[in-house]
Amino acid sequence: MKRWNARVLGVFLTCQAVLQLWPCALAPSPKPSHPADAAARALRLSIEAALQPSTYSARNAEAARSVARDAAVLEGLARPIAWKDGDLDLLNGTWDLIYTSNGDVDRGNFRQLGWPGQPILEKVQQEIDVKAGRLRNVLTLSPWPSSSWPLAGPFQGVLQELEAARIVLRLDHSFEAYGQSRLRIVLERLDRSLEGPSMEGLASLIPRS
């Protein structure tokens, strides 16, 4: 589920690392005629124009500066974050990462490790359950080449079965809100699973978890 509004910018713009992709800049939902509407649209367009293909990072320094400028404009229209005003509940839900100013997310280096035209890192999501005090970063990976890979050879059958499968990493955290707008986040466990249809032959030997 993708969400985009002026409420949460940090999950897109100021991620500290893959282990700490937590939202840290909030603004109230604007009224239809609020200047934040235009600022939010400008920021979204700026991000779309800035992204390198198949990554979450800007293609160059100027593109990154453009996103930062538009983000600053939108953040400047927001009132200060305050958990006591109910802002914490705005974090609740599932969020898709679309942009980060932290190159560590891409510097894995998932682009260089991926097969030509096929990045390893397909999706980054963050699931937040405010009531339970849980935060989970979910990375979906496709680390194998396509079955059409010229050097597939005897592994072509295995790769065909793996084409619909994905490795999913779940970094599970507890979190606690304190102060006016601070979060204390603790990584508690890392789970790995192989998700996709049932497989046969050699592919079936790959552990599911």
How do residues 91-109 score in pLDDT, each as one tens digit?
999 999 999 887 666 544 4
Model-level pTM?
0.71
Distances in whole angstroms, Cα of residue 132 to Cα of each of 83, 93, 120: 16, 12, 31
pLDDT in tens, 159-205: 878 888 899 999 999 999 999 999 999 999 999 999 888 888 777 77
Q: What is the mean pLDDT of the chain?
A: 77
Candidate ranges 21-25, 58-62, 134-138; pick with highest mean pLDDT:
134-138
> Which amino acid is residue 42, in one-letter code?
A
Task: Write down the pLDDT at residue 105.
Answer: 60
pLDDT in tens, 40-60: 999 999 999 999 887 888 989
**Dist CA 49 CA 63 (whole Å):** 8
Q: What would the mean pLDDT of 49-75 be, rounded to a whole number? A: 90
Closest listed residue to residue 157, CA positions, set 146, 144, 147 = 147
Strand 182-195's sheet: what is its strand order? 93-96, 121-129, 134-141, 166-178, 182-195
**Dist CA 87 CA 96 (whole Å):** 19
Residue 57 burial (CB count, 10 A): 20
Task: Write down the pLDDT at residue 12.
Answer: 34
DSSP state of 84: G
**Dist CA 169 CA 192 (whole Å):** 5
